Structure 1
Amino acid sequence: MNQRILEKLSILADAAKYDVSCSSSGSKRKNDNGGLGNAEGMGICHAYTEDGRCVSLLKILLTNHCIFDCAYCVSRKSNDVKRAAFTVQEVVDLTINFYRRNYIEGLFLSSGIFSDPDTTMERLVRIAKKLRTEERFNGYIHLKAIPGASDELIHEAGLYADRLSVNLEMPSVEGLKLLAPDKKQEDMIKPMVYLKNEIVANKEERQVLKKAPLFAPAGQSTQLVIGATPESDFQILKLSDAFYKNMNLKRVYYSGYVPISNDNRLPAIGTPVPMIRENRLYQADWLMRSYGFHVDEIITPEDPFLDMQVDPKLGWALRNLDKFPVDVNTADLELLKRIPGVGVQSAQKIWQARRYGKITWDHLKKFNIATNRAKWFINLKVDDFQRKDYSPQQIKNAILQHGHSKYTPNYTPQLALF
């Protein structure tokens, strides 16, 4: 690889790290033509390893040149940073060469805006099309759908990409107007609506015509920047809930704002958003998507910020002690999933295992539950633990004393890919 390409890669890979909305699960693109790569079934299913390594998308910007001057963005036009841009062929060659060396299994490609949305989107589409049609690459491709680009280009992108994402960025119209006055929220919502309709139509078409072309089989996602403007967790989660219900989004990603300038509209340098706030938002999001919680059960306008000491599921249980202790031998699956310390898979194991006999505490300890929390909310005899009429605060304090504050279940790191 020549020095010029290496320099571009260094600049554009670094600039891409602020976009966390990448996920490869959900695609069903099979390699049945002798080409390269495979995104079959649940896709490549990237995840973080135990030591924090991420495997393995090539994640870059096509360019960090941009016509916009968004205060929160490192690539804004007024920022004094080194600029670079890949050609279409350079991105194709990088992807294929890295794939052949087993460095990556797919591509996540975003971009600043060159001169207008259509010009930028057209280049993104050309890259995906070349990979699919000329290189016969069947690995995972995630493209950024550029707000303001034509429906025709967005549609063509969906024919070659596994997932598309439109980043809403600011959680409110007021926040966007303050920090990105050149942008309009309706310009971001429009392609999201278009994608939702096209994805639904494609699924219906493929039920009739099995050989109909795929259209964004892994769906669409978005990203919200947290902490650059004063929106509460309640506002953020209500917005996410609306996206899941109305746009059929696969994921909403939360990116804590990293102070990058002394702009008086933004938090001061040296005051980044606490990582724990991102953590809690991801946990609350997980409860909505996988545990059957309604957003209003998790957070209310009267208490609009998530508890930083305990995860949202435990917080809900402490506010609803009248529903506990749960009889694990008779409770339905949905209630089992709501027991603090019991995950979705553990709840399913309990629900299935009790068909063969009565569940005991010794059984539960083998189901990978967090016993220090679960014991407060189930009706089984638990070793030497004596259940009394404890208050929510007493239970909370006892759990925290056992190190719960160090445990963050279902946390999705900034670049988690599942």
Structure 2
Amino acid sequence: MDAERITEKLNILADAAKYDVSCASSGSKRKNENKGLGNASNGICHTYTEDGRCVSLLKILLTNHCIFDCAYCVSRKSNDIRRAAFTVQEVVDLTINFYRRNYIEGLFLSSGIFKDADFTMERLVRVAKKLRTEHKFNGYIHLKSIPGASDELMREAGLYADRLSVNLEMPTEEGLKLLAPDKDRQEMIKPMGFLKSEIIQRTEENKLFKKAPMFAPAGQSTQVIVGATAETDQQVLYTAASFYKGYNLKRVYYSGYVPVLADKRLPGLNTAVPMVRENRLYQADWLMRFYGFKVNEIVNHQQPLLDLDIDPKLSWALRNMQVFPLDVNKADLHLILRVPGIGLQSAQKMVSARKFGKLNWEHLKKMGVAVNRARYFIVCNSNDFERRDLTGSRIKQFILAESQSKYLKNSSTQLNLF
């Protein structure tokens, strides 16, 4: 392996991969200087498992050559950039070498389209197959499925990859037609349906036969780009909800549009989507998946955009003050979960603990409740902290003021450290 050429390829293809957020990653370029310990190379990113562990992944494209000319993509065929492509063996060798040096625990591999879907997907599958069968690699592998690839290749990919994902890219079919007219929405959706069926079938087989092979045990996910077209948060979240329900997705990732290219089809060419909008979408997604909220409770035709000043749970609570105050010693779990400042684990602890006695504010603090928020919406076995005489707008002002005060205090503390 020509080390200098491989390093050049790695720089190009790791940089091109950074726009795909569907492994919940953040890049790292920390260099080892002055004979220090460790070296975070280009292409190493981090993701988090369901139990909270941080996992380092080699995140690269197989190639940034592409037959498509999508307006939003830095790798589009009309863009004048340096092009590169790894061979299958080069990706395998990089993964093994990085793993042995304890830089990574797994691989996130995507790709531009060489000449057609099957040609590209076959190479992605070969990388995973070589790692699993020739090197007995048991680390995490996430493969980007190529829309239009055959069912046979998708089935083989599921036997070697932990997770598979197909990017929807645009939240709506109209947006895709505008910015990527060469792509077919149905070709993106078809492999999702195939993977759903295969995952269900293989899960049933695993229940019956202990030695049945695993199939994409970490499930499938997708990514949508937000802000490249004019869809509202309501449209984005309805799309996410429908795919969660219809295709049993593990995650939908939201990628705020980054204006890397000029194109007359794109709105606001010099305006990146505010990071806070991306964060609010993730918070709303969390509410749908774990807190029992429906899309029309978070956003609706009258309010199609998420409030950027406050999180969506607080926004819902302020619009529904008639529900409050809740008595946490009597209220059902599904209502307690709707209280700002009370998380999933805290709510479950509260419901379990109140069987043994009345809960007061000290109990709630110990259970992890953010009483500075929750006090506006609940009552317990104490009158301290309660603020039930305020309107929703006044509560919002108080909470924003408290947040600003905390931010200034923390900033001051950090400055004093220097």
> What TM-score, normalized by structure 1, do the two folds share?
0.88
Could you tell me which amino acid in structure 2 is paired with residue 45 of structure 1?
T
* SS of match in other structure, 1:89: helix
Partner of 2:49: 45
Could you tell me which amino acid in structure 1 is paired with residue 4 of structure 2?
Q
Could you tell me which amino acid in structure 2 is paired with residue 283 of structure 1?
Q
Alignment map for 1:82-161 (pairs within 5 Å): 82-161=82-161
TM-superposed deviation, 1:366: 1.5
Q: Any conservation in 2 of the 1:56–1:104 contact (CA below 8 Å)? A: yes
Map Cα deviations across residues 160-211 of structure 1 (whole Å, 9 max, x no partner): 0000000000111111111101001011001111111111111111111121
Could you tell me which amino acid in structure 2 is paired with residue 130 of structure 1?
K
Aligned-partner Cα distance in 2 for 1:162–1:382: 49
Alignment map for 1:184-333 (pairs within 5 Å): 184-333=184-333
Could you tell me which amino acid in structure 2 is paired with residue 125 of structure 1?
V
Residue 394 of structure 2 corresponds to residue 394 of structure 1: yes
* SS of match in other structure, 2:164: strand
TM-superposed deviation, 1:356: 2.4
Aligned-partner Cα distance in 1 for 2:150–2:384: 66
Could you tell me which amino acid in structure 2 is paired with residue 149 of structure 1?
A
Aligned-partner Cα distance in 1 for 2:80–2:50: 34
> What TM-score, normalized by structure 2, do the two folds share?
0.88
Partner of 1:372: 372
Partner of 2:21: 20
Partner of 1:414: none
TM-superposed deviation, 1:55: 4.0
TM-superposed deviation, 1:374: 0.6
Q: Any conservation in 1 of the 2:13–2:62 contact (CA below 8 Å)? A: yes
How has the CA–CA distance of structure 1 residues 46 and 353 changed in structure 2, closer, same or farther, with 3 Å as cutoff?
Answer: closer
TM-superposed deviation, 1:351: 1.6
Partner of 1:74: 74
Partner of 2:163: 163
Aligned-partner Cα distance in 2 for 1:60–1:387: 52
Identity %: 69
Aligned-partner Cα distance in 2 for 1:400–1:44: 30
Could you tell me which amino acid in structure 1 is paired with residue 310 of structure 2?
V
Partner of 1:32: none
Compute the RMSD of aligned alpha carbons: 2.0
Aligned-partner Cα distance in 1 for 2:201–2:88: 30
Q: Any conservation in 1 of the 2:71–2:179 contact (CA below 8 Å)? A: yes
TM-superposed deviation, 1:270: 3.0
Aligned-partner Cα distance in 2 for 1:199–1:405: 49
Aligned-partner Cα distance in 2 for 1:214–1:23: 23
Could you tell me which amino acid in structure 2 is paired with residue 116 of structure 1?
D
Aligned-partner Cα distance in 2 for 1:260–1:348: 45
* SS of match in other structure, 2:378: coil
* SS of match in other structure, 2:170: coil
* SS of match in other structure, 2:254: strand
TM-superposed deviation, 1:256: 0.3
Could you tell me which amino acid in structure 2 is paired with residue 402 of structure 1?
E
Could you tell me which amino acid in structure 1 is paired with residue 8 of structure 2?
E
Could you tell me which amino acid in structure 1 is paired with residue 118 of structure 2?
D
Higher mean C-alpha deviation, range 393-402 or range 145-154:
393-402
Aligned-partner Cα distance in 1 for 2:332–2:239: 30
Q: Any conservation in 1 of the 2:333–2:348 contact (CA below 8 Å)? A: yes
Higher mean C-alpha deviation, range 390-399 or range 223-232:
390-399
Aligned-partner Cα distance in 2 for 1:12–1:406: 41
How has the CA–CA distance of structure 1 residues 381 and 154 changed in structure 2, closer, same or farther, with 3 Å as cutoff?
Answer: same
Alignment map for 1:399-414 (pairs within 5 Å): 399-403=399-403
Q: Any conservation in 2 of the 1:44–1:105 contact (CA below 8 Å)? A: no
TM-superposed deviation, 1:258: 0.2
TM-superposed deviation, 1:127: 0.3
* SS of match in other structure, 2:60: strand
Unaligned 5+ segments in structure 2 are 26-46, 408-418
Aligned-partner Cα distance in 1 for 2:149–2:388: 62
Over 6 Å off, 4+ runs: 46-49, 404-407
Aligned-partner Cα distance in 2 for 1:46–1:58: 19
* SS of match in other structure, 2:104: coil
Q: Any conservation in 2 of the 1:234–1:299 contact (CA below 8 Å)? A: yes
TM-superposed deviation, 1:363: 1.1
How has the CA–CA distance of structure 1 residues 405 and 125 changed in structure 2, closer, same or farther, with 3 Å as cutoff?
Answer: farther
TM-superposed deviation, 1:56: 0.5
Partner of 1:341: 341
Could you tell me which amino acid in structure 1 is paired with residue 178 of structure 2?
L
TM-superposed deviation, 1:265: 1.4
TM-superposed deviation, 1:292: 1.2
Choose between structure 1 and 2 for higher RCO, CA contacts under 8 A separated by at least 6 residues: 1
Unaligned 5+ segments in structure 1 are 25-42, 408-418
